[in-house]
């Protein structure tokens, strides 16, 4: 309850600050429109973090064989997918304004698409497996298998493909202190949002599991 | 006392009871047994070979008719080559595991073979299957598309490393898919995101081999392929028993 | 000296519990498992074989006073079950040769042939299993289950598809195994239950 209340206030403050406190970002084609960064970047960060958490619970399931771990893993993946879709949508909007096209296949865009593909494949696998234990084991293994390719995609492939893609605007543009003062709290807010949703869904799933409806 | 003497033979007749777990060479020998069994079964039914060969030839001809060979860039050429290899592989590389489940022989295999031997055997089988596929399609592709390869050593290395990585990832994903209920479409769906970095590296490296005679032109791609294959191999070995056992 | 002990073994699939708190112990001879369809006889045998992990509880196999780890279960148990198939594309001999190699056993052709002859398959051992009748396949499964002289022989519906001669052949196999080690038998046939020194009834 307290978390929900705090979170509500915090997020409102972040939204207000994003539009009123932060100055227009220099170094962008449309400095005013760059405010979307306050939502886009945290969403993408939480999407990636949610995947790592899903993977940690997957590994935990394999070592302890507790179905609750599997459920938490899938909840984190579900939330991660939502965050990834929102990050992609906001990113695409931003790309249209800044670079003139909705989609450019720059390394960041490529990796978030792959992240969504991994999530989609993960849920396709879960849907295709009937027995709860087998579903848990198979999807856990898949989540673990998907991690090394993700790391290669995010850190190695952009270097190999550097000649084909434009350099990253965000890191080269630089951010002012005022910008950081809004961006980090925003990231914290979205993280809180993830934690809050995760807790609600976990509690619900726990009840379902006890009732034998899972 | 009588009972005790009767029990004795059972432990001396079967030394397997008391020996330590099999070492690396023994594991390799057992993997070879699984591989040989799969080759014999495949030779007698030709499920995977037929699927892969027909798919490869069909796409190869379709691509060749459509673009005619001349006038396409080296980027497109190398992409097409790997698209053909990838999708042909997707049509047949899951057979090795799916067949065990469909013919309900998986339980017997689980009862008799260590998981490592099963994974090793299936991986060897997929490697050989993929190598056979490429031995036919790659020369055909080079001929029909009029491919000008500048650096053969790089071209062959990228092909070999790319196939090794493809076989490793496809084998572990096939193991997962064979345990799920809907097997058909799932294989390509699950494989693609996992294989993407490999495909990017392989396409980029092949393109480098077409453009440049120097091996160093594709060094980064070779490194990417080597690390991908190595990491996926180790992770697969570690997680395979969770997939294979109930 | 081999002994098999089930300690409070339970198994559930998802929310459905198959059985719970099964305890039994046997040092030699035959344990007959009985119970209505769906009571979990096959599941229990698969758990003993190490094919399935119990949801809770333990299966303890003690070999010469030493508890053997689950990884060794493969070498200590042999199993015949209706849902366990061998390779149709291979002949009986090729099947056995493959399973011997994968177990790390060195067997000559004669050693591989002997059990098939005993099970009445002489003359057909080089035919592919695909051409076998279901009773003949059942016989080959016995050769598969016994090739490594397992301490524990697990038989699920042992006489499925067998004729008179086949039933006699497995009768002598069961008697022999009872002297050498342990037989665990899942069945509802009164004639097969008679082999049991102890009877464990599931779902009662």
DSSP B168-209: HHHHHHHHHHHHSS--TTHHHHHHHHHHHHHHHHHHHHHHHH
Pick the range with the lowest mean pLDDT from A97-111, B67-81, B87-101, B176-190: A97-111
Query: Quick check: C86 and B16 CB within 8 A?
Result: no
What is the Cα A160 distance to its own chain's centre? 24
ipTM score of the complex?
0.92
What is the C-alpha separation between A10 and A27, in angstroms, rounded?
Answer: 28
Q: Which residue from A121, A124, A141 is facing B243, i.e. has the nearest CB?
A: A141
**Angle at CA of residue A15, ends A12 and A19, nearest 5°:** 140
State the average pLDDT over residues B103-124.
95
Which residues constitute the domain of residue B49? 25-244
Strand (E) or helix (H) holding A149:
helix A132-151
* pLDDT per residue as tens, chain C (204 positions): 789 999 999 998 877 889 999 999 998 899 999 999 989 999 999 999 999 989 899 999 998 778 888 888 899 999 999 999 999 999 999 999 999 999 999 999 999 999 999 999 999 999 999 999 999 999 999 999 999 999 999 999 999 899 999 999 999 999 999 999 999 999 999 888 889 999 999 986
Name the residue range of residue C28's domain.
2-201
Q: Are B190 and A125 in contact (CB under 8 A)?
A: yes
Judged by CB atoms closer than 8 Å, whether chains meet at C14 and A213 is answered as: no
Residue A160 contacts B where some CB pair is shorter than 8 Å: yes
Instruction: State how far the Cα of A121 lies from the Cα of A58, in Å rounded to an integer.
Output: 15
Tens-place pLDDT, residues B14-72: 434 445 677 889 999 999 999 999 999 999 988 888 888 888 889 888 888 887 756 78
Residue B75 clears pLDDT 80, i.e. is over it: yes
Q: What angle do CA B61, B67, B68 make, to 5 degrees?
A: 75
Instruction: Determine the pLDDT at residue A109.
Output: 79
Chain A nearest-CA residue for B227: A152
Question: Chunked in runs of 10, what are the mean pLDDT values of chain A (214 residues)?
Answer: 85 86 72 81 90 94 92 95 93 83 78 86 92 92 92 73 47 62 88 94 90 71
Alpha-carbon distances, residue B215 vs A8, A53, B210 (angstroms): 58, 40, 11
Q: Smallest CA–CA separation between C93 and chain B, in Å?
A: 12
Convert A38-61 to b/e letters by CB count within 10 Å (16 or more is b): bbbbbbbbbbbbbbebbbbbbbbb
Predicted local distance difference test score (pLDDT) of residue B48: 83
- Residues of chain A with C-beta less than 8 angstroms from the C-beta of B197: 149, 152-153, 156-157
- Rounded to a whole number, what is the distance in angstroms from the first to the last CA of chain A? 26
CB of B134 closer than 8 Å to CB of B48: no
Residues of chain C contacting A65 with CB distance shorter than 8 Å: 53
Candidates A145, A157, A158: best to mutate against B (most CBs of B within 10 A) is A145
Chains touching chain B, criterion 3+ CB pairs below 8 Å: A, C
Nearest residue, CB atoms, C74 vs list B36, B103, B112 = B112
Query: What is residue C24's three-state secondary structure?
Result: strand
In the block, which residue shows the tokens 């016995």? C142
Distance from CA of C160 to the nearest CA of A (A): 28
Question: How many independent structural domains does chain B possess?
Answer: 1
Instruction: Identify from B30, B103, B112 which residue to disrupt to test chain C contact, counting C C-beta atoms within 10 A and taking the largest count.
Output: B112
- Average pLDDT rounded to a whole number, residues B134-153: 90
Using CA of residue B186, residue B190, residue B191, residue B196, what is the dihedral sign? positive
pLDDT in tens, A105-149: 777 777 788 888 998 999 999 999 988 889 999 999 999 999 999
Nearest CA in chain C to A133: C14
- C-beta separation of A186 from A38 below 8 A: yes
Cβ pair C14:A65 closer than 8 A: no
Contact in structure between A153 and A101 (CB atoms under 8 Å):
no
Chain B interface, best mutation among C98, C175, C197, by max B CB count within 10 A: C98
Give domain status of residue B100, yes or no. Answer: yes
- A69–chain B nearest CA distance, Å: 15
Q: Where are the domains of chain A?
A: 34-164+173-210
Mean pLDDT score of chain B? 87
Interface of C with A (CB under 8 A): 13-15, 53
Distance of CA C51 to the CA centre of its chain: 12
Partner residue facing C148 (CB), from B14, B36, B117? B14
Residue B89 structure tokens:
């592989």
* Contacts of B46 by beta carbon, 8 Å cutoff, 6+ apart: none
Q: What is the CATH number of the domain that holds C72?
A: 3.40.50.300
Q: How many domains does chain C have?
A: 1
Domain assignment of residue B16, yes or no: no
A chain contacts of residue C15, beta-carbon cutoff 8 Å: 132, 212-214
A63 part of contact set with chain B, CB < 8 Å: no
Query: How much is the pLDDT for A26?
Result: 67
C167 vs B: CB within 8 A:
no
């Amino acid at each position: 309850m307290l978390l929900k209340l705090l979170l509500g206030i915090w997020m409102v403050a972040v939204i207000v600050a994003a539009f009123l406190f932060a100055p227009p970002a220099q170094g962008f084609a449309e400095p005013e429109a760059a405010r979307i960064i306050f939502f886009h970047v945290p969403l993408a960060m939480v999407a990636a973090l949610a995947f790592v958490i899903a993977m940690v619970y997957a590994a935990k399931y394999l070592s302890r064989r507790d179905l609750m771990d599997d459920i938490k893993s899938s909840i984190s993946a579900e939330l991660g997918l939502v965050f990834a879709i929102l990050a992609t949508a906001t990113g695409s909007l931003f790309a249209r304004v800044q670079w003139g096209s909705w989609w450019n296949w720059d390394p960041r865009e490529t990796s978030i698409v792959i992240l969504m593909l991994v999530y989609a494949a993960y849920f396709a696998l879960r849907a295709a497996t009937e027995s709860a234990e087998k579903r848990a084991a198979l999807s856990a293994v898949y989540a673990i298998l998907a991690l090394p390719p993700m790391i290669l995609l995010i850190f190695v492939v952009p270097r190999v493909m550097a000649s084909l893609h434009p350099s990253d605007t965000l890191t080269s543009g630089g951010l002012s202190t005022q910008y950081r003062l809004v961006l980090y709290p925003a990231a914290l807010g979205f993280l809180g949002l993830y934690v809050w949703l995760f807790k609600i869904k976990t509690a619900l799933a726990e009840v379902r599991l006890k009732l034998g409806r899972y | 006392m009588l009972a005790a003497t009767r029990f004795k033979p059972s432990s001396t007749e079967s030394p397997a009871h008391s020996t330590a777990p099999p070492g690396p060479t023994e594991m390799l020998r057992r993997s070879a047994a699984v591989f040989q069994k799969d080759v014999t079964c495949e030779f007698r039914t030709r499920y995977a070979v037929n699927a892969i060969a027909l798919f490869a030839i069909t796409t190869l001809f379709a691509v060749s008719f459509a673009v005619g060979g001349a006038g396409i860039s080296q980027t497109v050429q190398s992409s097409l080559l790997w698209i053909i290899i990838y999708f042909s592989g997707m049509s047949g590389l899951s057979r090795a595991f799916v067949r065990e489940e469909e013919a309900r022989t998986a339980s017997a295999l689980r009862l008799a073979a260590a998981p490592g031997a099963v994974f090793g055997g299936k991986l060897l089988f997929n490697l050989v299957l993929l190598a056979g596929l490429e031995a036919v399609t790659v020369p055909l592709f080079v001929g029909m598309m009029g491919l000008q390869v500048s650096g053969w050593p790089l071209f062959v290395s990228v092909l070999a490393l790319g196939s090794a990585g493809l076989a490793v990832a496809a084998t572990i994903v096939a193991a997962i898919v064979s345990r799920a209920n809907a097997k058909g479409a799932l294989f390509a769906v699950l494989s693609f995101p996992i294989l993407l970095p490999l495909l990017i590296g392989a396409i980029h490296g092949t393109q480098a081999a077409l453009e440049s005679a120097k091996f160093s032109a594709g060094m980064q791609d070779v490194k990417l392929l080597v690390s991908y294959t190595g990491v996926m191999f180790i992770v697969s070995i570690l997680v395979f028993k969770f997939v294979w056992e109930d | 000296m081999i002994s098999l002990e089930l300690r409070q073994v339970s198994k559930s699939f998802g929310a459905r519990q198959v059985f719970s708190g099964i305890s039994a112990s046997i040092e030699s001879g035959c344990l007959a498992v009985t119970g209505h369809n769906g009571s979990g006889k096959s599941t229990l045998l698969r758990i003993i074989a190490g094919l399935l992990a119990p949801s809770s509880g333990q299966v303890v196999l003690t070999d010469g006073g030493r508890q053997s780890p689950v990884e060794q279960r493969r070498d200590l148990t042999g199993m015949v079950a209706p849902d366990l198939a061998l390779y149709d594309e291979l002949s009986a001999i090729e099947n056995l040769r493959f399973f011997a190699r994968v177990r790390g056993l060195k067997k000559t052709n004669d050693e591989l042939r002997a059990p098939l002859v005993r099970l009445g398959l002489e003359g057909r051992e080089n035919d592919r299993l695909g051409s076998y009748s279901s009773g003949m396949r059942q016989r080959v499964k016995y050769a598969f289950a016994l090739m490594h002289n397992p301490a524990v022989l697990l038989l699920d519906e042992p006489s499925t598809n067998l004729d008179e001669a086949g039933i006699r052949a497995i009768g002598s196999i069961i008697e022999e195994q009872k002297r050498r080690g342990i037989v665990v038998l899942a069945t509802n046939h009164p004639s097969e239950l008679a082999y049991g020194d102890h009877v464990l009834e599931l779902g009662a």
